[in-house]
Amino acid sequence: MHFATKAIHVGQAPESTTGAVVVPIFQTSTYAQEAPGVHKGHEYSRTTNPTRDALQECLASLEGAQYGLAFASGMAAISTVLLSLSSGDHIVSSDDVYGGTFRVFDKVFTRHGLKYTLVDTSDVAAVAAALRPETKIVWVETPTNPLLRITDIAAVAQLCKARGVLLAVDNTFMSPALQRPLELGADLVVHSTTKYIGGHSDVVGGFLATNNSALHDQLKFLQNAAGGVPGPFDSWLTLRGLKTLALRMDAHCKSAQQIAEHLVAHRQVESVLYPGLPSHPGHAIHMRQASGGGGIITFRVKGGLDHARRVCSATKLFFLAESLGGVESLIEHPAIMTHASVPAAQRAARGIGDNLIRISVGIEHIADLLADLDQALAQT
Ligand SMILES: *Cc1c(COP(=O)(O)O)cnc(C)c1O
């Protein structure tokens, strides 16, 4: 079965008692048993729920995974992975990892004995040099946020296999429609389904997918033990979003490519970062491991902080908001908004300057999006 078909059919057979073609929202916490211990496969909804099961089965299949687990948020999924570690274990992570991921490494799990090292994972030799005997996981985001740096997933996977370390890839920015890390050798895929998978900015969720049955068993145990599960309605909304994922990702990529090329030629724009541009340093690797540039573009305006602030405040269709991956276009200023918690010196060192703007290109008509950006960039 092809991707677009799986998204609509896997785990979603018509409901057996009524024939409903849409998986129902099983809004129940518990299930009646015929006799103690005799039940229809469900006992309590933290452990299993049929609506969540449908989402887990469908999304796992889209990642090419045998196993999938849904969570209440991306951070709940990530925290559950970290709960599988023990005091003294070590993680090597991308240095411009999602801010919430860094925060939970640094402010929460270090108190329980987690050690971590941040490296530029686009440099495979740097990843190799950071590995220690106690390293359990290499954590990669590609493309990263907001600079869209690219890591060669297959190369890092090869290194991890040779050293007996698990490779986890946060695939939020690409979604399985564009990039499937397990097929490239990763052990675990991590998602914030809040973004492209849900796709409509109306639900928060997370996901883990793997083909490693021992790892799955451990994570499934922790899903129930720690309890970071999504409710039935959130599972249903995410499953509904999933059905149009392939169509939406095509539209995001097509418009983002046109907007990136338009911005490159714009006289108010200093530079543009977009993996779909041949000028992007990770372009060749990205296009080998993913089937599109995605919907996120980062660019620097020539007029500094004041100009960046005016542009962000002047767009009408691009809403000024954090998050990304929805049908509506968003604009944001990383230094003031999503990356404000990164100390200014570190931001500057990483290239997150005050003239940097990030946009999430939605699926509105391309002509309207280009016109909105042009009128906002003219606010010099
Ligand atoms: C948003 C995001 C997360 C966190 O997910 P939530 O659903 O907000 O908890 C993790 N990783 C990446 C790359 C994200 O964009």
- The per-residue DSSP string of 319-380 comes to EE-S---SSS-EEE-TTTTTTTTS-HHHHHHHT--TTEEEEE--SS-HHHHHHHHHHHHT--
Tell me whether strands 90-94 and 135-141 are parallel, antiparallel or unpaired: parallel
The residues, ordered by sequence, that sit 6+ positions from 317 with a Cβ below 8 Å of its Cβ are 328, 329, 362, 364, 368, 369, 372
Tell me what pLDDT residue 340 has: 87
Query: What is the topology classification, in CATH, of domain 245-377?
Result: Aspartate Aminotransferase, domain 1 (3.90.1150)
Pocket test for ligand 1, best of 149, 151, 172, 332 (most atoms within 8 A of CB): 172
CA–CA dist 48, 29 (Å, integer): 10
The residues with which 76 forms a beta bridge, in sequence order, are: none
Could you tell me if 207 and 197 are in contact, meaning their C-beta atoms sit under 8 angstroms apart?
A: yes
The candidate with the shortest Cα–Cα distance to 326, out of 257, 249, 263, 259, is 249
Tell me what pLDDT residue 251 has: 98
Listed in order, the ranges of the chain carrying CATH 3.40.640.10 are: 3-242
Cβ–ligand 1 distance for 292 under 6 Å, the answer no
| Residue located nearest, by CA, to atom 7 of ligand 1 | 74
pLDDT, tens digit only, all 380 positions of the chain:
999 999 999 999 999 999 999 999 999 999 999 999 999 999 999 999 999 999 999 999 999 999 999 999 999 999 999 999 999 999 999 998 998 999 999 999 999 999 999 999 999 999 999 999 999 999 999 999 999 999 999 999 999 999 999 999 999 999 999 999 999 999 999 999 999 999 999 999 999 999 999 999 999 999 999 999 999 999 999 999 999 999 999 999 999 999 999 999 999 999 999 999 999 999 999 999 999 999 999 999 999 999 999 999 999 999 999 999 999 999 999 999 988 888 888 888 889 999 999 999 999 999 999 999 999 999 87
| Residue located nearest, by CA, to atom 2 of ligand 1 | 192
| Residue located nearest, by CA, to atom 1 of ligand 1 | 192
Q: Kindly list the catalytic residues.
A: 46, 98, 170, 195
Listed in order, the ranges of the chain carrying CATH 3.90.1150.10 are: 245-377
Task: Report which residue type is found at 253.
Answer: C
Could you tell me if 324 and 330 are in contact, meaning their C-beta atoms sit under 8 angstroms apart?
A: yes
The residue assigned the tokens 């999924």 is 77
Cβ–ligand 1 distance for 145 under 6 Å, the answer yes
Query: What is the topology classification, in CATH, of domain 3-242?
Result: Aspartate Aminotransferase; domain 2 (3.40.640)
CA–CA dist 375, 380 (Å, integer): 10
Ligand 1 centroid – CA 17 distance (Å): 37
Ligand 1 centroid – CA 220 distance (Å): 20
Cβ–ligand 1 distance for 146 under 6 Å, the answer no
